[in-house]
Each structure stands twice: as C-alpha cells, then as structure tokens.
Amino acid sequence: MNAFSEVAFAVVKVYKATQILVAGSNVITVKVGDRHSASGRFRRSPKLFATEICFDIQYLPMADTETIQIRLLEEGDPPSIAAAFANMGWNKPEKQYRRYLDEQAAGIRTCFVAIVEGQLAGYVTVNWRPTYAGFADLNIPEIQDLNVLTTYRRKDFASRLLDRAEAEVAQRSSVVGIGVGLHPGYNAAQRLYVKRGHVPDGRGITHQNRFVEEGESVALDDDLVLHFTKRLLPE
C-alpha cells in the first residue's frame, strides 16, 4: 500500500465514510453519512514515512460534493459548454472545445469537465506541450483555461478541478506550471494559486508569450501573464 492509499484508508476508516468522491495527488474527499463529506489534504514529512503523513479535515456540505463528477471532455460537450458561457456573456466559441477534443485525441491536451446534477459547472485543461518557453524548455506541463460558471463559484469547484488536473500531471511530471493574468479580473485566481503552493517561476512577465523588457510599455490585458510552478512530488 503506497502513502496515498494509507491516508485514503485512514480517512475512510476514521470518518466511517461510505464512498470516495474525489481523489487527487494530495487531496481526498469522502462521503460521511447522508449530508456531509470530509475533505482531507495531506503532505509528506521530510522523512517521507507514511506514518508521518498528516492531513487536516474540513467538513463540506454534501450538496457541494454528492453529485459532482469530474470527467474527460466528450464529443457532445462543446455545444453545451459554449452555450453555458454565452449565458454568462462570455465569448467561448464551440470551435475552441472542438479543438480541445482534437488535441486530447492527439495527446497534446487533457480537458476535465465538472458536472453537477447533469449540468456543467466548469472545466480545466492540461497542456502537455505548452508554448511558454519557461515550461517548454523544462518539459513542464501547464494547467490552462480554468473556468467555473458563476452559479458554482465560491463552492470549491475550482480547487477540485485543479486537484484533478494536478493528479493527472503528477503521473508524468513532478512539477506543474500555470499562468495567470495580471489585471484585476484575475485577482481571485492569483490568490487561489498562491494558497495552493504555486510560486512565480522567476522569469518575469510575458505579453503574448514574449518576455517583457524592463521599461517597456504593454497593454494590461489578458495576454499580460505571470507564470507559476508547483512541485507535486518530492525531489
């Protein structure tokens, strides 16, 4: 039994859980009774003994966890995703998700969607071949295009999508990358990534995938990005 399995077993046993709802590289959410779940995040000790792995438990309302499904993007998803974001006033064309499907089939990208009671809640992708030089040069996969519909925000769905994406990356890489915009529209994302342990990669900021030089003037738009990395596995 590996370290994660030991922690998962402990959470299930201690909390008398009846079902594992979400399992990621460092998080497990289990069903406890009929109305609640317990979500545990754990970390290894410096000595890397399984017995020294510790985790902090949070109770979450079962309404937020009971019916969530995180799965791969499927052939029938693009129209419904585009329509859901159009209802928010966002321009997310269907062809974008058709491209994601093609890239997923080619092994270039993996796209996870979150479904709650049959309805789309959000999605996230992992780009295995990012164009950003700081990641491409080091073969670091990049988490991209994390989006959660307004109805499902502030309910931990973004974190659960990130947990799933990081778990996928951890199977191939010990480090994951992510980029975040610098204008105020990205304030929540900036805070979230820092809280999850992401740190700036130390290479400065980019605009349209080009490093910005000192003293240069650029537009503060979606293309002005700071990139972060997070270690998923011990060195």
| pLDDT tens, residue by residue, 90-131 | 889 999 999 999 999 999 999 999 998 888 999 999 999 999
**pTM metric for this prediction:** 0.72
| Best CA proximity match to 135, nearest among 50, 71, 36, 229 | 229
| pLDDT tens, residue by residue, 148-167 | 998 888 878 899 999 999 99
- Give the amino acid at 146: L
How much of the chain, in percent, has pLDDT values that exceed 90?
A: 59
Contact 207, 226 (CB under 8 A): no
Report pLDDT for 88.
Answer: 86
Q: What is the DSSP letter of 106?
A: H
In sequence order, which residues have a C-beta less than 8 Å from that of residue 58 and are 6 or more positions away?
38, 39, 40
Count of CB atoms situated within 10 Å of the CB of 71: 12
Class of 69-231 per CATH? alpha beta
Query: Which residues of the chain are in CATH 3.40.630.30 domains?
Result: 69-231
Q: How confident is the model at residue 1 (pLDDT cuts 50, 70, 90)?
A: very low
